[in-house]
Amino acid sequence: MLNVGVVSGNELASLVVERLADHGAVIQARSAPELSQERDSPILVSCADRSLPAFKFDLVLSVADGSEQCCPRHSPDVVLTETDPALLRKAVDQLWENRLLPFSRNKAAPRPKHRKGPAVMSPPDPAWPATAARTAERILRTSPLIVRVDHIGSTSIPGLPAKNVIDLQVGVANVSHLDQVSAHLDAAGYRAVPGKWWDAPTSYQPEPEQWAKHLHVNSDPAQHVNIHVRVVGSAGWFFTLSFRDWMRADAGHVRRYAAEKQRIASKYANDVNALNYAAEKKLWFRDYVEPQLYAWVDSNGWRPEKREEPHFMECSKVAVNPNTVTAPEFSPAATRLPS
């Protein structure tokens, strides 16, 4: 079931709730619904209090609400700005057909819906970090075995054009937790992509098992998210975080990466998917990124636990999971999977 929160607080919110009910949504006044109950509708709508974090819902909807919040965890996924009742009802109708119904179907499907189309670069979007933070908080609650979630990939690098796809890295303590966390994510609607997945090993760390991961995608058709589940301390986990911070530290790297991404995207603009784009981009990582990145890590003493920016979860002022992992001392030449 899709759990939608409608932020209360103005008179137009009630109109939105009524319109959703007209479409068949189950309306619940309480802000903490019991999702275990059997219901006829695939969509449950709750009137959400502003103080309730977004992770309580699959999607948070606000109506003509431009108020600033101090933390991304309070920001809505959708803001309806129409103030004319007729236009607002039409906007709700479109939201229902184009997002809510497909979202609920995708969440209930046994397999993720295949995402087609070539790689299309979007200008940097200031909303990407907040979207990543909301999604990461939701993911953290799916399993007690998740020890951290990090925003990674192109959308995590300020000023970099990217596909409008949020990449998140889910960290687990050891290999034995990979399957369990994957099952928890899948049950929560973050569907596992079938097959076994590895990132391309580098010449500095060639062991394939160091690059194993599980791959999941979210169910929201309006905002795609890729979820990479890796063991904390593995080479793939280490490389991903260090690459992000290396890019953030040098605007020249960002410019060169942006030019390379656009070149490859243009070359394969007529492809039915982004597989050729991804394959050719790996060559740039091998030839340009690898030698410079590992040298930068060694010369700067970079470690994941020494990030200058606070983890986005710190804004919540509450503990997320009882288990914590202290990142070990890393050496790019001698990283091993935790036992």
Q: Per-residue pLDDT for 37 more than 50? A: no
pLDDT given for residue 80 in this prediction? 92
**Which pLDDT tens digit goes with each residue over 285-302?**
999 999 999 999 999 999
Asked which of 140-144, 281-285, 331-335 is least confident by mean pLDDT, the reply is 331-335
Q: Say which residue, 333 or 46, is predicted with more confidence.
A: 46
Q: How far apart are the first and last CA of the chain?
A: 38
Q: Phi and psi at residue 338, in whole multiples of 5°?
A: -60, 145
Structure tokens at 140: 């953290």
pLDDT given for residue 332 in this prediction? 37
> Which residues, in sequence order, are CB contacts of 299 under 8 Å at separation 6+?
none
Structure tokens at 182: 């994957």
pLDDT given for residue 333 in this prediction? 36
pLDDT given for residue 250 in this prediction? 95
Q: What is the mean pLDDT of the chain?
A: 84
**Beta carbons of 41 and 21 less than 8 angstroms apart:** no
What DSSP string describes 200-236? PPBTTB--GGGGEEEEEE-S-TTSEEEEEEEETTSHH
Q: Per-residue pLDDT for 158 more than 60? A: yes
Neighbours of 211 (CB within 10 A): 20
pLDDT range class, residue 164, cuts 50, 70, 90: very high
Distance of CA 78 to the CA centre of its chain: 16
pLDDT range class, residue 305, cuts 50, 70, 90: low
Q: Which residues pair with 148 in a beta bridge?
A: 171
pLDDT given for residue 39 in this prediction? 56
pTM of the model: 0.86
pLDDT given for residue 64 in this prediction? 77
pLDDT range class, residue 28, cuts 50, 70, 90: confident
Q: Which residues pair with 201 in a beta bridge?
A: none
> Which residues, in sequence order, are CB contacts of 316 under 8 Å at separation 6+?
53, 71, 73, 137
pLDDT given for residue 290 in this prediction? 94
Q: What is the largest CA-CA distance in the chain?
A: 63
Give me the numbers of helices (H) and strands (E) for the chain, helices first please: 9, 11
pLDDT given for residue 66 in this prediction? 53
Q: Say which residue, 55 or 3, is predicted with more confidence.
A: 3
Q: Which residues pair with 212 in a beta bridge?
A: 198
CA 243/CA 92 separation, integer angstroms? 41
